[in-house]
Structure 1
Amino acid sequence: MTQLFNLHGVGVRFGRVHALSDCTLRIQAGERLALVGSNGSGKSTLLRTLNGLVRPVAGSLQHDAQARQAMLFQRPYMLRASVLHNVALGLWLGGVRWREAKAQALAALARVGLEHLATRNAKALSGGQQQRVALARAWALKPQVLLLDEPTASLDPSAKREVERLMAEFADAGMTLIFSSHNLGQVKRLAQRVIYLEQGRLVADLPVAEFFNGPVPAAAEAFLKGELA
């Protein structure tokens, strides 16, 4: 199995704040990896570090430079343009001719069930629809790795189910999923492996069944019991 990421002793600081400390982690192609922990535990920082948006100040990070990546944020940014143009622009910036970029964007919107909204202003869509547009925008780039930061945190139950369905389908097609979530039910449904972070430190790294049913470190046990904010 191809190794996508190899982190050894990685540290990230924002001023005096240690956002990640001594983080050692390996991620293989095809995994479904969930990052869990309290607010401020380092989940978003780890995702951004994997995506190259944040540079470590300590340790080493090796990654497969041939593996295409895409990242979805909790609140995806939508351009003040049509839904179709929001998806096509990334393809065009990647070198695809505009006419072909629009055709591929329309196919991506069909993949997430939003082709009927192609001409709508993306800013006017609901939160769930915007997240699906963001998924289409990522999927259109054909990434091998999809990183998602709380992808359903602000969505209603119906939109959450739709986004989860798409995530599962992408993973079934071979895409590597690395996502953060406070929704433990979602973690059970989608993840194969769980990383528990606390105050920037990786406390537990376990298969999903062991994380929820087996013995875990005390801090992770408190989190599972709802005793941590």
Structure 2
Amino acid sequence: MRAPDAILPLRAEGLGFTANGVAILQDVTLALEAGPPTLVIGPNGAGKSVLLRLLHGLLPPSAGRVTWEGPARHPGRHQAMVFQRPVLLRRSVLANCRYPLALAGLPAAEQARRAAEALALVGLAALADRPARRLSGGEQQRLALARAAALRPEVLFLDEPCASLDPTATAAVEAIIATLAGRGCKIVMTTHDLAQARRLAGDIVFLHRGRLQAQASAARFFDHPPSAEAAAFLRGALLW
């Protein structure tokens, strides 16, 4: 049964974004449903990160609109975003995790409980008192995921969260993503790593030159590419 305050599906209708006279995205129409992760892929410069920022509400569209389902008047309270390079406060790991909960107005006891649960989820409970900026790159990304997860978002946008990580740190982040998805959080994630997309995706959004070329199940996309551009991209022959 659908939760009464659920915000999915999310719909983009004729979405476009122009910066300095250059069209970054053009006429993107798609719907994102609850379920397994959606991976957004495409060549460098295809508009993947801009699409996430538009869907999340960080950027206003130059054309079209983004709409959320349900009666929630403030969908921002039901979603979160983690970037490739997390921005951490000059505070402890625990204080970083509690900060967005305090901004959300949660009571101190609830802040403490949720932060502790989130740090345990990402394997950082033992480092709660360490300065956040002294963590390794992989630990910082796990903290960013914990900070987002503590808000219990229905939708979590991830912009290439593993791009700067080694294989061990990447595996740890992917395990966290899989856990969150298994708990019902809708993951919408950009990646340039096709192997990662195969591992995580329930469905694929493929962008090329700022346009939506395909939205399909991961199995169909990888086994039967829906366009010549998609096939070329999977072969490594589509650079732009």
TM-score normalised by structure 2 residue count: 0.91
Deviations 1:138-165 (A, max 9, x none): 1100101011000111111111001001
Deviations 1:8-27 (A, max 9, x none): 11111112111110000011
The alignment-based identity, stated in percent, is 46
Q: Is the contact between residue 7 and residue 26 of structure 1 (CA under 8 Å) also seen in structure 2?
A: yes
The equivalent residue for 1:14 is 19
Q: Is the contact between residue 12 and residue 55 of structure 2 (CA under 8 Å) also seen in structure 1?
A: no
Rate the CA distance shift 1:215–1:85 in 2: closer, same or farther, 3 A.
closer
SS for the counterpart of 1:9 is strand
The equivalent residue for 1:28 is 33
Rate the CA distance shift 1:104–1:215 in 2: closer, same or farther, 3 A.
closer
Aligned length: 229
CA displacement at 1:179 relative to structure 2:
0.3
The one-letter code of the counterpart of 2:94 is: L
Alignment partners' CA distance in 2, 1:207 and 1:177: 15
CA displacement at 1:125 relative to structure 2:
0.6
Alignment partners' CA distance in 2, 1:175 and 1:162: 18
The equivalent residue for 2:180 is 170
The one-letter code of the counterpart of 2:14 is: G
Alignment partners' CA distance in 1, 2:53 and 2:225: 30
Residue among 52, 57, 65 paired with 2:62: 57
Equivalence map 1:95-114=2 (5 Å): 95-114=105-124
CA displacement at 1:75 relative to structure 2:
0.5
The equivalent residue for 1:222 is 232
Gaps of 5+ in 1: none
Residue among 168, 171, 189 paired with 1:158: 168
CA displacement at 1:222 relative to structure 2:
1.3
Gaps of 5+ in 2: none
Alignment partners' CA distance in 2, 1:82 and 1:99: 18
Alignment partners' CA distance in 2, 1:125 and 1:200: 36
Q: Is the contact between residue 85 and residue 102 of structure 1 (CA under 8 Å) also seen in structure 2?
A: no
SS for the counterpart of 1:96 is coil
SS for the counterpart of 1:71 is strand
Are residues 1:37 and 2:47 paired? no
State the superposition RMSD in angstroms. Answer: 1.5
Equivalence map 1:201-216=2 (5 Å): 201-216=211-226
Extract structure 1 runs of 4+ deviating beyond 6 A.
Answer: none
Q: Is the contact between residue 49 and residue 159 of structure 2 (CA under 8 Å) also seen in structure 1?
A: yes
Equivalence map 1:105-144=2 (5 Å): 105-144=115-154
Of 54-63 and 69-78, the range deviating more from structure 2: 54-63
TM-score normalised by structure 1 residue count: 0.95
CA displacement at 1:228 relative to structure 2:
2.6
The equivalent residue for 1:195 is 205
Q: Is the contact between residue 31 and residue 192 of structure 1 (CA under 8 Å) also seen in structure 2?
A: yes
Q: Is the contact between residue 41 and residue 204 of structure 2 (CA under 8 Å) also seen in structure 1?
A: yes
Alignment partners' CA distance in 2, 1:142 and 1:99: 16
Residue among 83, 91, 95 paired with 1:81: 91
Alignment partners' CA distance in 2, 1:14 and 1:31: 32
SS for the counterpart of 1:44 is helix
The one-letter code of the counterpart of 1:218 is: A
SS for the counterpart of 2:9 is strand
CA displacement at 1:5 relative to structure 2:
1.1
CA displacement at 1:131 relative to structure 2:
0.6
